[in-house]
Amino acid sequence: MPIVTEYDGLIKISRNPYYETRLGSAYLGNSLKLMGELPDESVDLICTSPPFALVRKKEYGNVDADDYVEWFKIFAGEFYRILKPKGSLVIDIGGSWLKGFPVRSLYHFELVIELCKPRLAGGLGFFLAQELFWYNPAKLPTPAEWVTVRRERVKDAVNTVWWLSKEPHPKANNKRVLRPYSEAMKNLIKNGYEAKLRPSGHDISTKFQNDRGGAIPPNIITDSIQERGASIGSPVLGEFNWILENDLGQPVNVISASNTASNDYYQRRCKEEGVKPHPARFPQALPEFVISLCTEPGDLVLDPFAGSNMTGRVAETLERRWLAFELNEDYMIASQFRFEQDAPLVVAPIKDRKTLKARALELAKDCSDKSLTMDTQKPFVQLDLFPASDNSMTDKKIIRFTYGDQFSPRQFQVSELVQLCSDCLPDRRVLQDEIAKRYYADHSSQNDLQKGENRGKLAMNTFLSLRAYKLVESIDGDDWQYRLTDIANEILDHQQDSETVFTIFARHILVNLTGMSLIKAIEAINSRGDKPQLEIIAYELQEMGYSLSTNCTYVSTMRQWLQEAKVLEKSYEINWDRVYDLLELDQDYIDELYTLSSEQKYFLLAMLQMAITELTEWNKITRYATSVYKIRFPSKSFVQDIIQPLVKVGLIATEKTTGGRGAKPNLVKLTEKSQMELLSRWVELNIK
């Protein structure tokens, strides 16, 4: 239902908005045409993530690197026109690689140079206020062949964010993006610091005791900026250097945030409604930082490439007016989910600056205002660019692999164990006693007291595994009361059919737990020609962001359960047909790479990397694949073993050349199917 905004009448566009909120409006259509209806110098901030110039085409409409600058300049002309004199243009723009080579494209540097050329020289006349950097720790390790296969390059995890302006001094105030003081800085303000010289000769004087209300953040927008400061400088000055780096330095220009946490609700609602989510969402930390830095409440923020409209959602929460333009109706439909009543706030609402100042003054040494009173009901809250973190040096968000100790199919029948859980409801103590008696009675040869302790610990580990595998759950936060989950009840309903039970449990492990991550780790190891072993799998999972030791039993436990369901054969050989059946997915979701041999995979991957969309001699592709992947192809049976199977599954097309002596090799090219679907699915299922 449309909501009348507080600022109706200030900005008029001829068409009706797709949806409205209290402070903003979203419009479906070409942003160039829509911007054409905006008055000159009417927008305070344009914060956007335009389509990147990538090697591979994406469904959201990216442009080739060669054409990107000229394409973007058309939009930039409108940006310049509608921006206020002190307005800012902030562009999140990703880098790109040259086709077939581990070499970076310069298109995003060429773009900013063109935008900042004087207008008389053919440019747009913008100033580069500052470059910011978005560090995404959860970004996929691409390009795959250079990072995960040949390992010649490190993961490309940083997007450049250009902050441009129409004049050298745009509206900006870094006090609006202060970070909470660290404990070390609080101690410095309270107790002072003995003045001394840094190795550079810079005087560390008592002036650093002055309270500024918070730490000036860096231009690295990051969750983990604190971690790197502790080792800066010599041991003598290390503590102060950490404070200087984290609390008193200029705002750094790297925004570190994955684009997962703030998008969970959005993705869930898209799935529930059967709507396609935007595939390239940026996190709330980026627009939060930029909007807070460059605007004030009531200012107008525009995102002309709105996508999932994270910019509009953040602007709304921060009391800024906003406009969002988006060409794709599916993305526009999905973006409405961000404004639903149940949608979580993606940033903290604006807090009273008086409370902020009061808290900061309370930290100061010898505060002169003894009569200052604090509202204890309102905790000290500053703009936090680092969600899921309390900015301490020790706290760090980690991904845990599903716990599984004393819980293997060699010890338990899952349906029998779930039945025991049902019989002992709801008392955890009773259940653990029964597990100890039934499964661990003969476990120990020690004295009775030690036997009891050991059995109790084993039974406790079994219960914790049941809870980690989401077969039981605590009741109202009481650790000693439990109930069965829906999955457990489904297992009980089919406990007479062991095959069905294993199918239900394996599907649960793959869909709701960390089973698919384990499968991807094993596939990655297999594709490299290595032998999967527990230690190597653990290392692979660590590369994916999981926290687990290399000798833990959790991986082995999950592998055994998946083996019972025939997902894994011969310990570490993946049965992808079985995975397909378990997940009940369309064929699009389990792509054809999994049914191919290693040689076929690498030949196809080389074609994708080389963008073979026109008929090309296959020996050129094999030379590339041999050089990059160190793979050997059969020389005599190449057509039969490599080309024909790929043609059969519709991934490549081929054309024979003339026969006889001196005949050229067969010509091959990618089909439209493999160009549009295959590589993205392979990356998603194998690397993410």
pLDDT in tens, 109-125: 999 999 999 989 889 99
Say if pTM beats, i.e. exceeds, 0.75: no
Closest to 253 (Cα-Cα) out of 286, 285, 220: 220
| The predicted structure's pLDDT at residue 424 | 97
Question: Looking at per-residue confidence, does 203 or 278 come out higher?
Answer: 278
Question: Backbone phi, then psi, for 2, in 5-degree steps?
Answer: -60, 145
Q: State yes or no: pLDDT of 377 exceeds 50.
A: no
Separation of alpha carbons 108 and 52, rounded Å: 9
Question: Given this model, what pLDDT does residue 266 score?
Answer: 77
For residues 555 and 650, membership in a common domain is answered with: no
pLDDT reported for residue 100 = 77
Same domain for 457 and 548, yes or no, is: yes
Token pair 């996508």: residue: 307
List of E strands, 30-73? 43-48
Give the pLDDT confidence score for residue 445 in this predicted structure.
55
CA–CA separation, 319 vs 297, rounded Å? 5
Q: Within a domain: residue 433?
A: yes
Boundary-marking domain end, from 581, 597, 617: 581
Answer yes or no: do 604 and 518 share one domain.
no
Query: How many CB atoms are located within 10 Å of the residue 333 CB?
Result: 17
Q: Which of 337, 361, 390 is the last residue of a domain?
A: 337
Q: Are residues 567 and 430 in the same domain?
A: yes
Give me the pLDDT at residue 190, please: 54
User: What is the model's pLDDT at position 510?
Assistant: 84
Claim to verify: residue 608 and residue 563 sit in the same structural domain: no
Q: What are the start-end ranges of the H helices in 157-237? A: 183-191, 225-229
Give me the mean pLDDT over the 149-154 stretch: 79
* Of 405, 507, 384, the residue nearest 457 (C-alpha): 405
Stretch 275-304: mean pLDDT: 86
Comparing 427-431, 530-534, 661-665, the range with the smallest average pLDDT is 661-665
Instruction: Report pLDDT digits (tens) over 411-463.
Output: 999 999 999 999 999 999 999 999 999 999 876 555 566 777 888 999 999 99
Give the integer Cα–Cα distance in Å for 522 and 516.
10
For residue 372, is it within any domain? Answer: no
Q: Given this model, what pLDDT does residue 264 score? A: 64
| Window from 286-290, 403-407, 498-502, 646-650 with minimum mean pLDDT | 646-650
- Helix residue spans in 593-651 (DSSP H): 598-610, 618-629, 638, 644-648
Q: For the residues 266-284, what does the mean pLDDT come to?
A: 75
**Which of 1-5, 70-74, 223-227, 265-269 holds the top average pLDDT?**
70-74
Q: Give yes or no for residue 551 having a pLDDT over 90.
A: no
Q: What pLDDT sits at residue 59?
A: 43
Instruction: Give CA–CA dist 304/297, Å, rounded.
Output: 20
pLDDT of residue 450: 72
Highest averaged pLDDT of the listed ranges 69-73, 124-128, 231-235, 271-275? 124-128
Judge if 30 and 159 occupy the same domain.
yes
Indicate the residue type of 326: E
Q: Which of 58-67, 391-400, 518-527 has the lowest mean pLDDT?
A: 391-400
Report pLDDT digits (tens) over 47-61. Answer: 998 886 543 344 434
User: Could you tell me if residue 365 is inside a domain?
Assistant: no
622 belongs to a structural domain = yes
| pLDDT band (50, 70, 90) for residue 32 | very high
The per-residue pLDDT for 479 is 92
SS3 564: helix
Q: Tell me: do 51 and 167 sit in the same domain.
A: yes
Rounded Cα–Cα distance for residues 581 and 567 (Å): 10
Q: Is the pLDDT of residue 383 over 80?
A: no
- pLDDT the model gives residue 656: 77
Angle, nearest 10°, between helix axes 554-564 and 498-512? 130
End-to-end CA distance of the chain: 38
Just list the catalytic residues. 49-50, 92
User: What's the rounded mean pLDDT across residues 268-274?
Assistant: 81
DSSP per residue, 64-85: -HHHHHHHHHHHHHHHHHHEEE
Look at residue 407 in the predicted model and tell me its pLDDT: 93
- Residue 248 in any domain: the answer is no
Asked if residue 379 has pLDDT above 80, the reply is no
The CATH number assigned to the domain holding 271 equals 3.40.50.150
What pLDDT score was predicted for residue 635?
Answer: 78
Residue 198 has pLDDT above 90, yes or no: no
Question: Is 664 a residue whose pLDDT tops 70?
Answer: no
3 state SS of 429: helix
pLDDT 10s digits, 469-491: 999 999 998 999 999 999 999 99
**Residues in contact with 447: Cβ distance below 8 Å, sequence separation at least 6, in sequence order:** none
Q: Do residue 55 and residue 94 come from a single domain?
A: yes
Q: Is residue 672 over pLDDT 50?
A: yes
Range in 93-97, 270-274, 347-351, 517-521 with the lowest mean pLDDT: 347-351
The chain-wide mean pLDDT, for the chain, equals 75
- Show which of 557, 581, 605 is a domain's final residue: 581
Percent of the chain scoring above 70 in pLDDT? 65
The pLDDT value given to residue 395: 39
Res 557: pLDDT: 94
At which residue do the structure tokens 């910019």 appear?
311
Q: Are residues 434 and 560 in the same domain?
A: yes
- The most confident of the ranges 432-436, 548-552, 588-592, 600-604 is 432-436
Report DSSP letters for 450-478, one per residue: HHHHHHHHHHHHHHHHHHHTTSEEEETTE
One-letter amino acid of 415: S
The radius of gyration of the chain's CA atoms, rounded to the nearest angstrom, is 29
Q: What pLDDT is attached to residue 153?
A: 84
**What's the domain range around 617?**
587-686
Could you tell me if 556 and 623 lie in one domain?
Answer: no
**Which of 544 and 332 is assigned the larger pLDDT?**
332
Q: Indicate whether 141 and 267 sit together in one domain.
A: yes
CA dist 46 and 55 (Å) reads: 26
Q: Amino acid identity, residue 150?
A: R
The CATH number given to whatever domain includes residue 640 is 1.10.10.10
Per-residue pLDDT, 384: 29
Q: Average pLDDT in the 249-278 region?
A: 63
**Does 507 share its domain with 538?**
yes
Structure tokens at 604: 């196809």
CA distance 248 to 208: 8
pLDDT of 396 over the 50 cut: no
CA distance 252 to 245: 9
In a domain, 534, yes or no: yes
Is residue 399 domain-resident? Answer: no
* CB-CB contact of 359 with 380 (8 Å): yes
pLDDT tops 70 at residue 339: yes
Is residue 191 in a domain? no
In the chain, the number of structural domains is: 3
Confidence band of 391 (pLDDT split at 50, 70, 90): very low
